Each structure stands twice: as C-alpha cells, then as structure tokens.
Amino acid sequence: MSASIVAGGETRLQVLISRQQIAAAVERLAVEVRRDYRDVSPLLVGVLRGAFVFLADLVRALEMPLTLDFVRMASYGTGTETSGKPRIVHGLRSPVKGRHLLVVEDIVDTGLTTRFLLDYLGAKGAASVKLCALLSKPARRQVDVPIHYLGFTVPDRFVVGYGLDFAQQYRYLPDVCVLEGAGVP
C-alpha cells in the first residue's frame, strides 16, 4: 500500500496489525472487561479523537450495560510530539463520583497524556479508574502508566489507521499501519 504525502514528497504505509487481528483483540478485551465489570455498569471514557473507532467496536463487543462520555486532550505546543504539558480541552459531562471509570485510549506513547488524564479523573472521586488501550509503545515511555487492558504492544514506529492519524489523515484505514516518509516522526 502507498499513499500520497500530506505535505509534499512520498509516504509509505505498511500494515502492522491487520483488521482481523484487531477484531480478535477487541473480542478478547471485551471478554476481560465484561468479566471484571459484571456487577457494575462502568462509565467508559473515550479519549478523542484517536480512540473513536476502537471505542465504537469495543462498546458493541461488550454487549453489557454501560454509559459513555468523552474527553478531548491536547498538548501545549505544536507538532505530533507530546510537548510534556497535556491539558483537557473538553472534559466529562457525566457525574463521576462513585462511578467505575474505564478510560479507552488509542495509544499510550510517552504516557504523559494518559497519566495526566488518569490523575485528573482519580481526583474527581471515581470509585475506580482503569485504562484500556489498543496500543502501547513502551520504548518511548517517560512516565509509568498502568494499562489494565491492552490490545497490542508496538515497536517505536509512527502508526496510523483505525482512528489514529498523522496531521488528521489516515484515520479511515481499517488496519493499523506504519507510516514512513518525509515529515513523519
């Protein structure tokens, strides 16, 4: 597969995790989550925008009572690298006190964004806060983040597709692909 460049030059896409592998992982994670939350109705917290595809598939695989809300995170600074100062652009609208929260993330990279979000939610009086991430890139981790439910560990490569973007492109790809080329981190 190849793709035309976002900002000039040539980019290459290579499938890293196929749609079939993703579907199997979503089913596996749903079994684990359903087992752990069978007595409570969790509040799933989707982290926009990257987690939207994963969250939609996970929710349908779960087939259990739950509620949903979303947060949108951003980093101070520009570019695709996390600047180290995450902030919440759009917070939760749902009451959190006493709820069992399951944060659903696309990828944990440095861990700075997720760590900030978990601390923020924990301070709001939730009964529990756990994390479900489709991908983890441990080679780049700067802070410790407990991932209770994990789809895949990925190498230190920039990945797109299945909701993940580069400069807002490639979210539509059904597979998780490595993106290479000029301007790609």
Total of residues contacting ligand IMP (CB under 6 A): 16
136 binds ligand IMP (CB under 6 A): no
175 binds ligand IMP (CB under 6 A): no
> Site mask, ligand IMP, residues 22-61, x = CB under 6 A?
----------------------------x-----------
Residue 138 tokens read as 């441990």
CA angle 6, 55, 144 (to 5 degrees): 85
**Which residues lie below 8 Å from residue 14, measured CB to CB, with a gap of 6+?**
1, 177, 178, 180
Distances (CA, A) of 92 to 28, 113, 165: 27, 16, 23
**First CA to last CA across the chain, in angstroms?**
19
104 binds ligand IMP (CB under 6 A): no
Q: Which residues are catalytic?
A: 109
Segment interacting with ligand IMP (CB under 6 A) among 13-21, 35-43, 119-127, 152-160? 152-160
Residues in touch with ligand IMP (CB under 6 A): 50, 82, 105-114, 158-160, 164
